[in-house]
Structure 1
Amino acid sequence: MDRLKALGRLLPRVAAAVAAGAMLGFAFQPHDLPWLTIVAVPLFLAALHGISMKAGFLVGAGFGITYYAVLVPWLSVIGGDAAIALAVLEGLFYAVFGLFATQVLKLRLWPLWIPCLWVATEFATASVPFGGFPWGRLAWAFSDGSLGKLAAYVGIPGLSFVVAFVGVLVYAVLRRGTALRMRAVALVAGLAIVFGSALIHLSLAGDGKSVTTAMVQGNVPGKGLEFLGRARTVTRNHLQATLDLQKEIQAGTVKKPDLVIWPENSTDIDPYKDDETRADIEEAVKAVDVPILVGAVTEGPGPNERQTAGIVWDPATGPGQRYAKRHPVPFGEYIPFRNQLLPYIHRLEMIGAQTVPGVGPGVMPIRGVTYGDVICFELAYDNVIQDVVKGGAQVLIVQTNNATYGGTGQPEQQFAITRMRAIETGRTILIASTSGISGVIRPDGSVEHKSAQFTRDVYVANVPLKDGHTLATTLGGWPQWVLTALGLLGLVVAMVERRRTRGDKTPPPPATGSTKEREKVPA
C-alpha cells in the first residue's frame, strides 16, 4: 500500500518531466521554438526537486525518452523500432542525470553545478556508444536566437551551458523557498545574459580574399529509401546540372566558379573502378574546366568494405586529394557486431558493405584556397570541425545526402546545426546536398541561399576567406572538458554530502553489558 501511495505521488512528477521533454523537443527545427528551452529546463528541475535518487532516475528517463522521441521522429523512416530504440538509449543518459541531479540540487551552489552536469550529460551522449550521437545539444536550437551568437566565444558546449544556466536561473526565481535576494540576483543575471547577447555583432568580413564556388544539387529519383539502387541516375542528374551550369557561364549569366561541389553520394558507384561513372565525372569536369569535389562511395580498403569520400577531380590531372568520412553512422552505414546481429535482423542486410572510417581531417588545398570538407552527420561532432579549422581551412564545405529523410524535419535540423558551426568558426559554410537542403551560410550564421528539397538547384556564390580564429576555435575542446569536469566534481560533492548527512542521522548502536561494565569504558 505504501509503495502504491509513493508511486501515486511520483506520477505527477513523471508527467511533468514528460511534458518538459516534449517541450524541449519542440524547441528545435522544424518547429523552431527555442524559448521553450527556458520553460522545459525549469520544469524538469522542479520535477526532480526533493525526491529520491531512484525516483530521479525514473523522472529523468521520462524526460529524456520523450525529448528524443519528439526530436528525432525522422528515424522512423528506417523503422519505428529504430526510432524507439534510439529514444530509449539517449533517454537513459538523462535518467542518469536525474538520478544525480536530485542530490546536486541540495548543494548550496546548485545553480552552477546543474548546468555543468548538463554539459557532462551532453558530452556523454556525443561520445558513447559507437562514437555517440550529438544531435540533442541545447545549443543547436539557437541558430536564429541572440544567444546563439555566444557560440563564437564559448563554442557549442559553452553555449549549451549558457542555455541550461538561463533555465536554472528561471527555476531559481520560481523555486519555492528561494531567498528574495537570490531571486533578484537570478533575475538580473538571466536578463543580462539574454539582452547582453542581443548586443553582440558578428563580422561577415573575411581577410580581404574571396573565392567563387558552385553548389550542385542534382536531385534524386525518389524519397525515403526509394532512391537506393538508382545510383547512375543520381550521378547523371548531377552531370546534367553541371553541364547546364556551364551553359550559363558561357552565356555570361553567372560567374565561372573556382570550384564546383557535388554532394555526398553524388555517385554510389566507385569511379576508380567503374568506367561509365568515371566518364560521367570527367565529362562534367572538362565542361566547366575547374576542379569538382565529388561525393563518392569507394570500394575497400578490405573485402566487403567501403568508404564515403570527397574526391577532388581536376580537369587536367583527374582524381587527386581524397577525404574519407571519419564518423560513419552506426546501423546506417555500418553494423556494429555485424556477424552476431545479421542472422537475427535481416533488415540490416540493406546496409550492404561495411563503411570504414577515414583517417585524418578533410583539409584540402585547392588552387590556393584551403577548404575544410565535412560529410553529412559528422558536422555535429566537435573534433571534426576543430580539426579542419586548426588545419587551416578558410571556408568549410558540407557534402550531404538527406534523401532518406526528406520531408521529415531532419534536413532542417542539420541545416540549423550547420548555421551554428558557421557562428562558432566564423567561416562561410557551403552545403551541397543530393536532394536538399543545399545552400550558403555566412560567418554570422545568416543564410545567403537555401534550396528547396527534392528539386534541382545550382547556386554560384562568391564568399570571403578567413584565416583567423574565433575565441571558440582558439579554445577548442577546453570549455567542454572543464565544464564536464566541474559537473562530475559537483556530482562527487553531492554524493559525499549525502553520505555525511545520512551518517549524521544514523542512530547510535544500542548499549550492551551491565551498568557497571559500561561505567568502566572511558569517555
Structure 2
Amino acid sequence: MARPRKAGRGARARPLPGRASTGTPRTLRKVSTTITPEAAGAADDASATDDRPRRFARAARFVRPGAALLSGVLLYLSFPPRPLWWLALPAFALLGWSLYGRRLRAGFGLGYLAGLGFLLPLLVWTGEEVGPVPWLALAAIEALFVAAAGLGIAAVSRLPWWPVFAAGVWILGEAARARVPFGGFPWGKIAFGQADGVFLPLAAVGGTPVLGFAVALCGFGLYEAVRVFRLHRATGTVPRGPLAAAALSVLVPVTGAVAALPLVSDAPEDGTATVAAIQGNVPRLGLDFNSQRRQVLDNHAARTRELAAEVKAGTKPQPDFVLWPENSSDIDPYANPDAAAVIEGAVDAVKAPTVVGAVIAPPTGKLRNTLIQWEPGRGPVATYDKRHVQPFGEYIPMRSVVRLFNSNVDRVARDFGPGTEVGVFDLAGTKVGLATCYEAAFDWAVRDTVTHGAQLLTVPSNNATFGRSEMTYQQLAMSRVRAVEHSRSVVVPVTSGVSAIIRPDGEIVSRTAMFTPDYLVEEVPLRSTRTPATRLGTLPEALLAAVAAGGLGWAAARAVRARRARS
C-alpha cells in the first residue's frame, strides 16, 4: 500500500472535492468592485442597525444622573406649601437605586445632582430681592453636603442591611450642614417637610434627626424591596438577608410612628392661656419694607388698638399676653421717644404684657435683634437678643470678597451681634420661650427654651424681604414640627404673614393671609412635660452619626481586604 505524500515545501495540497481551493494563486483574479444601489442601501441599513446599541449605551449613561436629579426634585416637591410629604419616600427609593453599587466618585457626582435638584428650587427665595448669584452660590455650596452623603451611601450600599447605614449617612450629612460653615444652615432638613406626614410623631421621640432618619430609611427600604423582588424573578430564590432588611426598613419606621402617637398630646397640663398674635403688615415688599419711618411700628400699634377696642366691646376675649413679630418696631424705641410712646399707648390700650420686636442700635458695638417684654404701665422690663444671627443677612462674613459678587452687602452697613442668654419671658404667669425667626431651624435654639422652663413657644418673624415666596410656608412647617417635638403650643407672629397659632399636636388652629393686616386670638394649652426628644437632646443625632460612621468604617475595611486579596 502506497503511503500518501506529505505536502512539502515544493508540493501543493490538493483541494478537497467540492470545495474551492484555499491556496493563494500566483496570479490574483480581478474582482469586480461595482456596488449596486440596492447593496449600498442594505449596507447603510446594516450600519444603522449596528449603531443602535452604541446609541442606546450612550443614552443609558444619562439614566442614573437623571434619576438622581429627579430624586432631588421629588424631595423639593415633598416640602410645603404642597401637602405632598409622601413624595420623600419615592425620592429616597430613586436615590437608593441611583447610588446602589456605584463607585465613590460616581456617588459624589450623583449626590451632587440630587442636591441641586432639591436645593435649587427649595432655596430660590434667597434671591428674591438680591438677584440670582447669592441663591445659586448658596444652593451650590449646600449641595456639596448632599454630594458627600451620596458618596457615603454608595460606599455602604454593598453592606448587609445597607438601608440602615445609608439613612444614617444622610442624617450625618444633615448634621454637618446644620453646623458649618458660619454656624450652619439646616434649612431643608427632611424632617421639616413632614409636618403633615404619618412619621411626625417620631419628632417627639428623637427630634428632627430621628424623624428624618425614619423617612430616609423607609425610602431606601422600598428600593431594597424592589431589588429583592427583581432578584427573585431572575433567580427564582429569595435571599433572606436582603428580604429581612427590606421588610424591616419599611415596617420599623411606620410601626415606630404609630407607637409614638401617645407622645403627641394637646391636653393642658398647666391650664390654658389666651394669646394674641399681631400682624401689622408692611408698607412695601422687599428690602425696603421699613423705608417709611415708623410705618411698620404704627401698623402693629394700630392692629393692637383695634384688638383692644374689640375686647372692650366684648367681641374678642381679653388676651393674657400679646405677641408682636420680629422687627415690628422699625426704629429703636430706646433711642426714639416717639416710638416708645406709640408702643406704650398700644400696650396700655390692650392691657396685657406685649412682646415687641425691635432693632436696637447701641452707641458703640454691633446692632442687636431684640425682643422686648413691655408691661402695661411699666414699660420695658426684659429683653432677649437673638442668639443665632443670619450670615449674609444680619451680618456679612468676608465682606470685601462678597462685595465683588453682589453690592447688596453694603445695605447691611452695620453688622448684628449675637446674644448669649436663653430667651424665656414670664408673661402674666406663663413662661414663654423665644426663638426669633431663623433660630427655629436650629434644634438647640428651640430646645434650650423648653429646658429653661418654657410652657409655650413663640417664633416672631419678619419675612417681608422674601415677598410672596414659599419661604414663609417652609418656616411655618418648622414651627409645626417643633410643636410636636417638644409638646408645646407655638405662636408664630409675622410682620407680613403667614402668622399662625399651633397646638402641641402640630395642628394649626388659626392663621392669617400674607401681606394682610390682621390679628389672631386663641386659647391654647400650656404644658410642662418634657418629651424624650427634649430630654435626650443631641444624643439621638449622635447615635445615628455613629451608625453612619460604623457603616463607612466597615465598608472601608472590606475594600482594603478586597484590594489585598487581589494583590
Same fold (TM over 0.5): yes
Picking from 246, 249, 257, the partner of 1:197 is 257
Aligned residues: 502
In the other structure, the counterpart of 2:181 is: 129
CA distance in 1, matches of 2:286, 2:357: 19
Picking from 305, 315, 318, the partner of 1:256 is 318
Task: After TM superposition, give the deviation of residue 185 of structure 1 in Å.
Answer: 5.6
Q: Is residue 376 from structure 1 mapped to residue 437 from structure 2 by the alignment?
A: yes
CA distance in 1, matches of 2:119, 2:145: 11
3-state SS, counterpart of residue 355 of structure 1: coil
Residues 173, 493 of structure 1: alpha-carbon distance in 2 compared, 3 angstrom cutoff: same
Task: After TM superposition, give the deviation of residue 366 of structure 1 in Å.
Answer: 2.5
In the other structure, the counterpart of 1:171 is: 223
In the other structure, the counterpart of 1:435 is: 496
| Paired letter, 1:16 | A
Residues 300, 491 of structure 1: alpha-carbon distance in 2 compared, 3 angstrom cutoff: farther
Task: After TM superposition, give the deviation of residue 398 of structure 1 in Å.
Answer: 0.9
CA distance in 1, matches of 2:514, 2:302: 18
Q: Is residue 337 from structure 1 mapped to residue 337 from structure 2 by the alignment?
A: no
Picking from 406, 422, 425, the partner of 1:364 is 425
Task: After TM superposition, give the deviation of residue 126 of structure 1 in Å.
Answer: 0.7
CA distance in 1, matches of 2:448, 2:397: 26
CA distance in 2, matches of 1:189, 1:342: 48
Q: Is residue 348 from structure 1 mapped to residue 409 from structure 2 by the alignment?
A: yes
CA distance in 1, matches of 2:404, 2:476: 37
CA distance in 2, matches of 1:461, 1:260: 11
3-state SS, counterpart of residue 387 of structure 1: helix
What's the CA shift string for 1:327-365, capped at 9, x where partnerless? 111111110122554466422111231011111211112
Picking from 258, 276, 289, the partner of 1:227 is 289
Q: Is residue 183 from structure 1 mapped to residue 183 from structure 2 by the alignment?
A: no
CA distance in 2, matches of 1:262, 1:163: 35
Structure 2 contact 273–525 (Cα < 8 Å) conserved: yes
In the other structure, the counterpart of 1:291 is: 353
CA distance in 1, matches of 2:421, 2:220: 39
Task: After TM superposition, give the deviation of residue 250 of structure 1 in Å.
Answer: 0.8
Residues 264, 43 of structure 1: alpha-carbon distance in 2 compared, 3 angstrom cutoff: same
CA distance in 2, matches of 1:478, 1:195: 22
In the other structure, the counterpart of 1:88 is: 140
Picking from 114, 117, 123, the partner of 1:72 is 123
Q: Indicate the larger mover: 137-146 or 170-179.
A: 170-179
CA distance in 2, matches of 1:70, 1:500: 42
In the other structure, the counterpart of 2:166 is: 114
What's the CA shift string for 1:106-160, capped at 9, x where partnerless? 1123121111111100001111111111111111111111211221122111111
Task: After TM superposition, give the deviation of residue 383 of structure 1 in Å.
Answer: 0.5
Structure 1 contact 157–480 (Cα < 8 Å) conserved: yes
Picking from 290, 304, 307, the partner of 2:368 is 307
CA distance in 1, matches of 2:358, 2:417: 14
Structure 1 contact 231–267 (Cα < 8 Å) conserved: no
Task: After TM superposition, give the deviation of residue 50 of structure 1 in Å.
Answer: 2.3
Task: After TM superposition, give the deviation of residue 479 of structure 1 in Å.
Answer: 0.4
What's the CA shift string for 1:380-424, capped at 9, x where partnerless? 100011100000000001100111223211111111111010011
Q: Indicate the larger mover: 59-68 or 489-498.
A: 489-498
Q: Indicate the larger mover: 126-135 or 70-79.
A: 70-79
| Paired letter, 1:504 | A
In the other structure, the counterpart of 2:388 is: 327
Picking from 51, 58, 63, the partner of 2:102 is 51
Q: Is residue 143 from structure 1 mapped to residue 218 from structure 2 by the alignment?
A: no
| Paired letter, 1:346 | S
Task: After TM superposition, give the deviation of residue 11 of structure 1 in Å.
Answer: 2.9
Structure ID, larger Rg: 2
Q: Indicate the larger mover: 327-336 or 360-369.
A: 360-369
Residues 9, 158 of structure 1: alpha-carbon distance in 2 compared, 3 angstrom cutoff: same
| Paired letter, 2:492 | I
| Paired letter, 1:466 | R
| Paired letter, 1:27 | S
CA distance in 2, matches of 1:158, 1:292: 36
3-state SS, counterpart of residue 146 of structure 1: coil
Q: Is residue 420 from structure 1 mapped to residue 501 from structure 2 by the alignment?
A: no
Q: Is residue 480 from structure 1 mapped to residue 531 from structure 2 by the alignment?
A: no
Q: Is residue 104 from structure 1 mapped to residue 156 from structure 2 by the alignment?
A: yes
Task: After TM superposition, give the deviation of residue 79 of structure 1 in Å.
Answer: 1.8
What's the CA shift string for 1:236-277, capped at 9, x where partnerless? 001111111111111011111121111001012111111111
Provide the alpha-carbon RMSD of the alignment. Answer: 2.0
CA distance in 1, matches of 2:270, 2:439: 30
Percent identity between matched residues is 39
In the other structure, the counterpart of 1:401 is: 462
Q: Is residue 32 from structure 1 mapped to residue 83 from structure 2 by the alignment?
A: yes
What's the CA shift string for 1:188-233, capped at 9, x where partnerless? 6524643663572522112141112211101111222341413511
What's the CA shift string for 1:35-90, capped at 9, x where partnerless? 11111111112111222211111111111111101212211203211111111111
CA distance in 2, matches of 1:133, 1:398: 18
| Paired letter, 1:275 | P
In the other structure, the counterpart of 1:503 is: 564
| Paired letter, 1:56 | G
Unaligned 5+ residue runs, structure 2? 1-54, 233-237
Task: After TM superposition, give the deviation of residue 488 of structure 1 in Å.
Answer: 1.8
